[in-house]
Amino acid sequence: MDHHGTTITQFISEEQRKAPGATGEFTALLNDIVTACKMISNQVNHGALVGALGSAGSENVQGETQKKLDVLSNEMFISCNEWAGHLAAMASEEMDDVYQIPDQYPRGKYLITFDPLDGSSNIDVNVSVGTIFSILRCPGGVERPTERDFLQAGTQQVAAGYALYGPSTMMVLTTGHGVNGFTLDQNIGEFILTHPDMTIPADTAEFAINASNGRFWEAPVKRYVDECLAGKEGPREKDFNMRWIASMVAEVHRILTRGGVFMYPMDSKMATKGLGGKLRLLYEANPMSFIVEQAGGGSITGRQRIMDLQPESLHQRVPVILGSRNEVERIQGYHADA
Ligand code: AHM
Ligand code: MG
């Protein structure tokens, strides 16, 4: 195979060079993240061959059973990112508390939150999973960041991205100037720019929701889905298509590629358990909202823009409705009506 593409490192360096006062530190941080994702991709790829499938026999702070690959991916992400001096601390969906940079390494000016392997219920059945990350600035004067330093609204993100471990491995990234997608060329070990300036069509006829929760949904979401299901004969006067992969990275990637709406809305089952939603604000909802908005889409809880939320705790969960702008606005309107 012969191509002369732009590598992700070249792309980011050139983008950073445009920023006044850029030191190259951000580019170096992203390089370490890229390395981590390549390592995770390699493990995911080898699956059962390297004994990486199955349960780790432990639970995370949210009481979910951890898969071996959840734990391995978390370790790989940390070891690639802790030594270089770009980060002041990290926070992961798979760790109870803030991860401090070990004393033998220098500390940097950024914070990172990440979900090392999202959609891990799909690992054992060989369906796409991914890594999601969000980069924040460490507040000035903070030596040893605590939970409070991570509680920044999504609008404060410096960058966000995901790696998708699918038929090909991809990295999709925003630094607040649009969204770009890169495909891993396994032969040379580099991500190459293949999807410049990704945009989400404003309209769609495709939605994604776990319909088994239907009886627990709130009225506005029920109304929206019912209207989609009614198709040509219903108020929307067109037929809709439905998808549910149970891998948020894969769903968001589909939406970035051809439009659509993804919903993990609030429901009464979660409310009974005292949960604010299914997906985590800092590891999933905020980074994905940043990417989706940068691609021209919308991202809300139903009641408000996700990126405007003031986070209250590290592992906070929120309802998520994101994708094609006109559909997301419609769903927000249904919530306002209710
Ligand atoms: P995870 O971080 O534990 O993998 O959970 C997040 C995932 C999302 O990727 C996906 O959208 C959702 O959980 C699927 O949930 P469900 O199994 O309830 O359909
Ligand atoms: Mg997750």
Domain housing 57 = 8-195
Q: What is the largest CA-CA distance in the chain?
A: 66
249 CA distance to ligand 2 centroid (A)? 9
Q: Which atom from ligand 1 is nearest to the alpha carbon of 249?
A: 9
The domain boundary, picked from 172, 195, 218, lies at: 195
Give the Cα separation of 52 and 42 in Å (integer): 11
160 CA distance to ligand 2 centroid (A)? 15
Residue bearing tokens 């409705």: 321
What is the residue-averaged pLDDT of the chain?
94
50 CA distance to ligand 2 centroid (A)? 23
The ligand that comes nearest to the alpha carbon of residue 213 is 1
Q: pLDDT value at position 47?
A: 81
pLDDT digits (tens, 9 = 90+) for 73-82: 999 999 999 9
Same domain, 189 and 217: no
Q: Which atom from ligand 1 is nearest to the alpha carbon of 213?
A: 18
For a ligand 1 pocket test, name from 127, 212, 242, 248 the mutation site with the most ligand atoms within 8 angstroms of its C-beta. Answer: 248
Residue 312, classified by CB atoms within 10 Å of its CB into exposed (0-12), middle (13-18) or buried (19+), is exposed
Same domain, 213 and 176: no
pLDDT digits (tens, 9 = 90+) for 239-266: 999 999 999 999 999 999 999 999 999 9
Separation of CA 185 from chain center: 22
pLDDT digits (tens, 9 = 90+) for 91-137: 999 999 999 999 999 999 999 999 999 998 898 899 999 999 999 99
Kindly report the protein residue whose alpha carbon is nearest to atom 16 of ligand 1: 246
Q: pLDDT value at position 3?
A: 56
Does any domain span residue 200? no
**List of the chain residues with pLDDT < 70:** 1-3
Q: pLDDT value at position 158?
A: 95
Q: Which atom from ligand 1 is nearest to the alpha carbon of 119?
A: 4
Q: pLDDT value at position 52?
A: 73
The domain boundary, picked from 160, 195, 230, lies at: 195
Same domain, 157 and 272: no
